[in-house]
Structure 1
């Protein structure tokens, strides 16, 4: 049975003749194939992520995390750059399959080193970097496969259905890791990631025939690089109208349609995508909406890194002092990520769209810093024995970032004029975000070197939240046109 909704609609042809539109039942297997890819990809990521976090905190310590943040940002940037060079010269199915076979070999080798040589530090750092690289490449692969598998146009509900494989995998494997880690040992869990890589390679072999046929038919594939984070849009956002301009300038009024994955009005996919992006001459010529988004992305990068370091530092202090700390840390991360995926999926399916429709783009972006600020202030009052619960609650607010704030920021790209939109997306994703993460890591390195307390770290989190709230809740006055009659000015 095809997972496509059985709906009938009407469309207007060039001769203004109305005819029924029925879903293509032959596309059902494509959705399930993408679902399987998302499931296997996320399963491997969660397995590698939990082992990397657990081994790193136990064997190297939380004080080494800031330096690893800095190295990881550079490694992911270099890795994705090299991947882009290779992908431009070879077919997609070959590149994705070869990437996962390589990841499988590296993962099995690192599993052997971490298990047989526990005194070596380089393999532990390599596992952590491998988890970061898996997350980055997995997102790129999924977004690209969506458009290669549907070269004639991506139905808006396909990413929502296939993306559920990622949520399901995070829940299932997070809980499973929490249950079996003490029995098998943390390093052994890397074998799950390697096995999932080989499963993806087999899946790509099955998809290869279809992809080759699509290319030979001459159907133009969509430009996946121009659509950021499309797989993350929840089903509840598939029909959201942008109510306000996040930068204080009016957005296009009366615009309504599929704002979710594959919709014709996705911010990055609107306008002439074949045109070369034009960079502005100077900072003042950058559209106000683009400056607003860039500033929000900088604050988000700082806040996410600060909260992550705060949480893992407290976790290292509390759990690493227990017997069998390595297995306990890995099991804890497994349980936590499983719950986080479950809460994120539930929030996306139920309240994300309602929040953004009710509050609008600008105020929706303030939900995450508002909740984080409140929880940080309350957690500061917790007694020492509840310190881990306080840090964990602050980290759980990441659910609101993933399910509400990130999608509000995606919708905010609509306010950027079409000629500047692709340039804005490329610069923010390729330069602004990595640079902000590197600066935040440098701040944390200085924090660790000076021996500042957790209180100082909480103060930085509060500062970032307040700056974010001021930026999102303050609306600058719009310039009035001298030709506009006073009676109609707003």
Structure 2
């Protein structure tokens, strides 16, 4: 058993080493470099101390601290000021040889017994050691992978401890052989060996040095502000770290004085040097044990902030011991704690707290700490020693030490909050403060903006303004009604008529009578209903006449008006026509009938809606659902739920279910949460119900749900959580631990199939599942911790560079507590790649059985297919046919980049077609709405009767038609009997709405193609490119409106809403969505000629123009000029790729910034928004190709 465990441990190490040879190579070289630095420091310090103490008494020792500190401070200041001007590796190549030469020169002075040389080397060697250790850690943090720093810094740090041990014991053997003075040669030699290690590291990891940025990125406003601010503003936790460091240095200087005074009174010359060698050797051994077996455990289990306090607490205990028992043994214990704890745990922590600091500030911060704070503290300690050594005995200095350490501990406690602030400030939060604000429409200025918008010629803007004002109880719309009833936009007139029907204001009957005579049937129908709402006898005949109108919509309005407002007489007049329409087989009449029951609003008239909800026409079902939402009677709930399965009726079914009272609807929905076919669409319903009971019911079903359902549940829970903050945190932690265990189990069982022939698809599926689990873990964390922080942590951990990943892990380390923190730390520090594991107690079949039983249908089918092809089990024709279709889809360029899971979803929706030889499959010029994939036979491609090419099995055509429903550009004729698979546009959009991953990959593909066309356009005809862009720009242009300065917060929000209303992409958003979005966008101003973004810059932001204009170009070649209401940058938010063109403010411009996560949230909540975005991008591409 123990042999098996050792074998697994050894193999685990080899796997880690094999996965990351380069990182381990750097770490081992850094180990060797630090070994040389610390060995040299120990030998040099011992030589200088022994030579000085053997020639000067205690009075000189206290005097030496002050000049030593002053020189160190000066060296630190010079290093901090001038070192950033030289590349670090270049500086080290000069500095190390220079120090070695100076050390060798000092040896001649020692040999000549020049008295002044001994104080000089006593101070000088400390300066050299300081410079070497500062250079080392700056160099190490620049080459190490910061995500792995917490795990690997212990290995690097143990190089210093090992150097201390070997040099310590080596001193005891060397001194009798070569003498104290000749140790200086070894000091210089070890420095030069360190230089060799530097050269090896540089040649080994040249491309990973952090000082060399791999990609230019646009500087954000936040970063620009930071660069203009000071060091403490940019590194918030630095001031507390500085106080703690100063307190420790002051304390250690006093402790060092105590140690040396007691030591000098006991030993002299070679005996002194030998004892110090033994001291450094044994303390180094203990330190190595601490570093290898204790330090990393403390860091992992308790975190950086707790570990930061261990050293000062240890020193407090030791100093108290010296007060009680001032003997050499106690002094050795206190001084030894500096080596055992200070050089291990505290040294690692002091480096880790600097890792989250951006590179441009990290060097300055470390130089400030090492050069100014610590050496300044030494100077202060020297002054203190000059005074207090005349007043206090050495052991009484412990009183001062205790006070200093208490101050340091208080500062250490305060480090945590500031340290967390530094971590969060360096995460990719993707936007401004998401704090929800309320729109105050009582403000006179805001009201005036809305009143002005009512008369706007922009349809969306005017309707939105009217909708807001209609909901304001304190605002009287009556004075504006006459103008609205004669508005140039028919939709506005219809909304105003609905308002008149609801409020029945006096004196509007003549206007309504005139509108009844209008030619617009929708306006006419609404005018009849509004006139009927007055319920006056003189209008009943006028309304009855319209029962025989040619328009079915007008007839239905007349029936509704009579039944609803004229009681028995109205029912008597309308019943004949009502019966006639109910028995009609015409779709138009059924649509009007379905809407009619909602207009009548009589709950007892619900029974005809049951059959209408099952009508073959989608429009009939939609109108029936709208009526059901108005009546909301319990017998209709079950047929409404069935409508969730259809993407065409899903949105209306959701609205109808939400219209019910909570106590009526929730018990009826509960059983359907367990049904896979309908359950996937229910979280959106619970989200709209938005009560605590709905939240709790949805939350409780999470554990039993399958993986797809869990994703849907969490998306809805997170949106609900903004309004319903209460959640059972203990249960959330239980769910997280369950997901963490599941993630580990998939890795364990997946490791058994890595590298096995035929299992590549299963490997990819397992990787997709583990990625989804990771995302769910952070979504669950967002329920109990601040959502914005957890989202930023996940983005940085999953997509960021090594520093961002390290920051993300440290945020979790500092935020979470208990077993959850331990498990999350292990999870985040582990490898995302499943490595092959040949040491297993289970056969392959058992691993596959476990994977198959996890409830993932596609994984189960992939394993079944493997069993058929490799293990010889009985074949499944349907499964084989599905796998064949997936194989065909892999060759369709439109679907490149999609996972096998996504392709399987598409494959299930393909429709099989057989075409006989000679038949035309598609005709040039016809409107196309489908994609065709050849599965057999051969077809010819013709344009204007000329053969252009041949199509065979695996080829496809109609890729752009499925997205844009444009005209076919060629004729396809079957040259022999052909077998085809057809994918319709409507089906494809339904799939994208249900499968977010398919939509994302499709938008990424279109984005990449459009970028490629833009690149190709550099050498293409400029006029064609301009035409494609200018058409888009012209469609988006809006009349210019100048906005006032000094707007209130409410006016700013309202202004943003009215601009967002103009963007075609958001034409289908609900009013509450616009308010939500307007609160989260960011406004930025640009002067004429100022660059907004450059081609090649990486971006995740889309822009909308509030005012001004923007020039789109590549260098001097102009593509388009975009005006107010236009948007650009949508490709960047799709794939976070490089910008495809330059954008420059043509005149003073104010823009809205929409970040990627916000836009994608809207896309996948509304199929119309998704379709709109896809078609905008596809149309741009079609216009350029």
Q: TM-score range by the shorter chain?
A: 0.5 to 0.7
The equivalent of 1:339 in structure 2 is 282
Kindly tell me: are residues 365 and 208 of structure 1, through their superposed partners in 2, closer, same or farther at Cα, counting changes over 3 Å?
Answer: closer
Structure 1 position 177, deviation (Å): 0.4
Kindly tell me: are residues 204 and 308 of structure 1, through their superposed partners in 2, closer, same or farther at Cα, counting changes over 3 Å?
Answer: same
The correspondence of residues 81-480 of structure 1 with structure 2, limited to 5 A, is: 81-82=77-78, 94-117=90-113, 120-146=114-140, 156=149, 159-204=153-198, 214=206, 219=207, 221-223=209-211, 276=227, 278-279=229-230, 289-319=237-267, 325-356=268-299, 361-382=304-325, 387-398=327-338, 399-408=340-349, 427-448=368-389, 450=390, 452-469=392-409
CA–CA separation in structure 2 for the residues paired with 1:373 and 1:131:
29
Confirm or deny that 1:49 pairs with 2:45.
yes
CA deviations on 1:155-207 (whole Å, 9 max, x unpaired) are 53555434433222211111010223133221111111122233344555666
CA–CA separation in structure 2 for the residues paired with 1:141 and 1:366:
25
Structure 1 position 84, deviation (Å): 6.1
Structure 1 position 303, deviation (Å): 1.0
Of residues 141-150 and 97-106 in structure 1, the stretch that sits farther from structure 2 once superposed is: 141-150
Compute the TM-score of the two structures, normalised by the length of structure 1: 0.68
Structure 1 position 371, deviation (Å): 2.8
The equivalent of 1:63 in structure 2 is 59
CA–CA separation in structure 1 for the residues paired with 2:320 and 2:50:
27
Indicate conservation of the 8 Å contact 1:277/1:423, yes or no: no
Structure 1 position 32, deviation (Å): 4.3
Q: What secondary structure is seen at the aligned counterpart in 1 of 2:182?
A: helix
Indicate conservation of the 8 Å contact 2:69/2:379, yes or no: yes
Structure 1 position 45, deviation (Å): 1.4
CA–CA separation in structure 2 for the residues paired with 1:96 and 1:130:
18
Kindly tell me: are residues 205 and 377 of structure 1, through their superposed partners in 2, closer, same or farther at Cα, counting changes over 3 Å?
Answer: closer
Q: What secondary structure is seen at the aligned counterpart in 1 of 2:382?
A: helix
Kindly tell me: are residues 64 and 41 of structure 1, through their superposed partners in 2, closer, same or farther at Cα, counting changes over 3 Å?
Answer: same
CA–CA separation in structure 2 for the residues paired with 1:78 and 1:476:
31
Kindly tell me: are residues 23 and 55 of structure 1, through their superposed partners in 2, closer, same or farther at Cα, counting changes over 3 Å?
Answer: same
Q: What secondary structure is seen at the aligned counterpart in 1 of 2:19?
A: coil
Question: Could you say which structure has the greater relative contact order, defined with CA pairs below 8 angstroms and 6 or more residues apart?
Answer: 1
CA–CA separation in structure 2 for the residues paired with 1:97 and 1:426:
19
Structure 1 position 315, deviation (Å): 0.9
CA deviations on 1:260-296 (whole Å, 9 max, x unpaired) are xxxxxxxxxxx9699526238xx9x999855433332
Kindly tell me: are residues 154 and 63 of structure 1, through their superposed partners in 2, closer, same or farther at Cα, counting changes over 3 Å?
Answer: farther
Indicate conservation of the 8 Å contact 2:77/2:372, yes or no: no
Indicate conservation of the 8 Å contact 1:173/1:334, yes or no: yes
CA–CA separation in structure 2 for the residues paired with 1:352 and 1:108:
37
CA–CA separation in structure 1 for the residues paired with 2:87 and 2:237:
37
Indicate conservation of the 8 Å contact 1:175/1:335, yes or no: yes
Structure 1 position 307, deviation (Å): 0.9
CA–CA separation in structure 2 for the residues paired with 1:22 and 1:175:
35
CA deviations on 1:7-50 (whole Å, 9 max, x unpaired) are 47xxxxxxxxxxxx963546665444433322222222111011
Kindly tell me: are residues 175 and 116 of structure 1, through their superposed partners in 2, closer, same or farther at Cα, counting changes over 3 Å?
Answer: same
Indicate conservation of the 8 Å contact 1:279/1:423, yes or no: no
Kindly tell me: are residues 63 and 370 of structure 1, through their superposed partners in 2, closer, same or farther at Cα, counting changes over 3 Å?
Answer: same
Q: What secondary structure is seen at the aligned counterpart in 2 of 1:121?
A: coil
Kindly tell me: are residues 429 and 278 of structure 1, through their superposed partners in 2, closer, same or farther at Cα, counting changes over 3 Å?
Answer: farther
Confirm or deny that 1:37 pairs with 2:33.
yes
Kindly tell me: are residues 297 and 94 of structure 1, through their superposed partners in 2, closer, same or farther at Cα, counting changes over 3 Å?
Answer: closer
Indicate conservation of the 8 Å contact 1:279/1:420, yes or no: no
Structure 1 position 420, deviation (Å): 9.5
CA–CA separation in structure 2 for the residues paired with 1:475 and 1:28:
31
The equivalent of 1:229 in structure 2 is none
Compute the TM-score of the two structures, normalised by the length of structure 2: 0.30
Structure 1 position 474, deviation (Å): 9.3
Q: What secondary structure is seen at the aligned counterpart in 1 of 2:227?
A: coil
Structure 1 position 413, deviation (Å): 6.6
Kindly tell me: are residues 470 and 464 of structure 1, through their superposed partners in 2, closer, same or farther at Cα, counting changes over 3 Å?
Answer: same
CA–CA separation in structure 2 for the residues paired with 1:444 and 1:51:
23
Indicate conservation of the 8 Å contact 2:138/2:363, yes or no: no
CA deviations on 1:313-368 (whole Å, 9 max, x unpaired) are 1111221xxxxx21122222211122222222221222223334555555544433
CA–CA separation in structure 2 for the residues paired with 1:75 and 1:22:
47
CA–CA separation in structure 2 for the residues paired with 1:274 and 1:177:
52
Q: What secondary structure is seen at the aligned counterpart in 2 of 1:60?
A: coil
Structure 1 position 301, deviation (Å): 1.8
CA–CA separation in structure 2 for the residues paired with 1:314 and 1:364:
31
CA–CA separation in structure 2 for the residues paired with 1:315 and 1:26:
46
CA–CA separation in structure 2 for the residues paired with 1:87 and 1:413:
18
Indicate conservation of the 8 Å contact 2:176/2:270, yes or no: yes
Structure 1 position 91, deviation (Å): 5.9
Whichever of the two has the greater Rg, that structure is: 2
Kindly tell me: are residues 401 and 198 of structure 1, through their superposed partners in 2, closer, same or farther at Cα, counting changes over 3 Å?
Answer: closer
Kindly tell me: are residues 113 and 429 of structure 1, through their superposed partners in 2, closer, same or farther at Cα, counting changes over 3 Å?
Answer: closer
CA–CA separation in structure 2 for the residues paired with 1:358 and 1:206:
34
CA–CA separation in structure 2 for the residues paired with 1:195 and 1:318:
32
Indicate conservation of the 8 Å contact 2:35/2:163, yes or no: yes
Kindly tell me: are residues 411 and 82 of structure 1, through their superposed partners in 2, closer, same or farther at Cα, counting changes over 3 Å?
Answer: closer
CA–CA separation in structure 1 for the residues paired with 2:342 and 2:111:
36
Of residues 462-471 and 421-430 in structure 1, the stretch that sits farther from structure 2 once superposed is: 421-430
CA–CA separation in structure 1 for the residues paired with 2:60 and 2:377:
19
Kindly tell me: are residues 209 and 410 of structure 1, through their superposed partners in 2, closer, same or farther at Cα, counting changes over 3 Å?
Answer: closer
Structure 1 position 391, deviation (Å): 1.1
Identify, as 1 or 2, the structure richer in strand: 2
Q: What secondary structure is seen at the aligned counterpart in 1 of 2:392?
A: coil
Indicate conservation of the 8 Å contact 1:182/1:328, yes or no: no
Aligned length: 406
Structure 1 position 409, deviation (Å): 5.4
